[in-house]
């Protein structure tokens, strides 16, 4: 039904927050809310929309790209925490022919 309306449905692996860009977005919004909230319900109601819009689309796109690099590293069989994984999943790495596929 959702796809019939022109939207994409993507299911992410459970319990792998490093593969879900929305977790980074939500984390950054929560930090903004904590830093700018007066810690009462009315203040929270005011600050949550502001917190969500405080994360720029460019930052959200960077979170998405980071998660895509990590998913690709896992697909290639790299082990989390290894130097090879860190180098592959970093935005500072050298592009390979596989990246263009």
In total, how many domains does the chain have? 1
pLDDT at 29: 97
Q: For 47-78, how does the pLDDT look when each residue is reduced to its tens digit (9 = 90+)?
A: 999 999 999 999 999 999 999 988 888 888 98
CA distance 11 to 26: 17
- Domain with 78, as residue range(s), is 16-95
pLDDT at 94: 52
Query: Binning pLDDT at 50, 70 and 90, where does residue 92 land?
Result: low
CA distance 95 to 88: 9
- 95: how many CB neighbours lie within 10 A of its CB? 7
Domain assignment present for 101: no
pTM of the full structure: 0.73
CA distance 99 to 58: 21
CA distance 32 to 99: 34
Query: Binning pLDDT at 50, 70 and 90, where does residue 26 land?
Result: very high
Domain assignment present for 4: no
Domain assignment present for 10: no
């Amino acid at each position: 039904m959702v796809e019939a309306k022109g939207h994409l449905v993507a299911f992410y692996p459970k319990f792998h927050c490093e593969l879900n860009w929305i977790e980074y977005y939500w984390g950054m919004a929560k930090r903004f809310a904590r830093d700018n909230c007066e810690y009462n319900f009315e203040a929270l109601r005011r600050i949550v929309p502001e917190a969500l819009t405080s994360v720029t689309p460019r930052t959200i796109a960077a979170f998405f790209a980071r998660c895509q690099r990590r998913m690709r590293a896992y697909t290639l069989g790299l082990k989390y925490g290894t130097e090879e994984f860190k180098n592959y999943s970093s935005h500072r790495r050298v592009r390979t022919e596989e990246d263009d596929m």
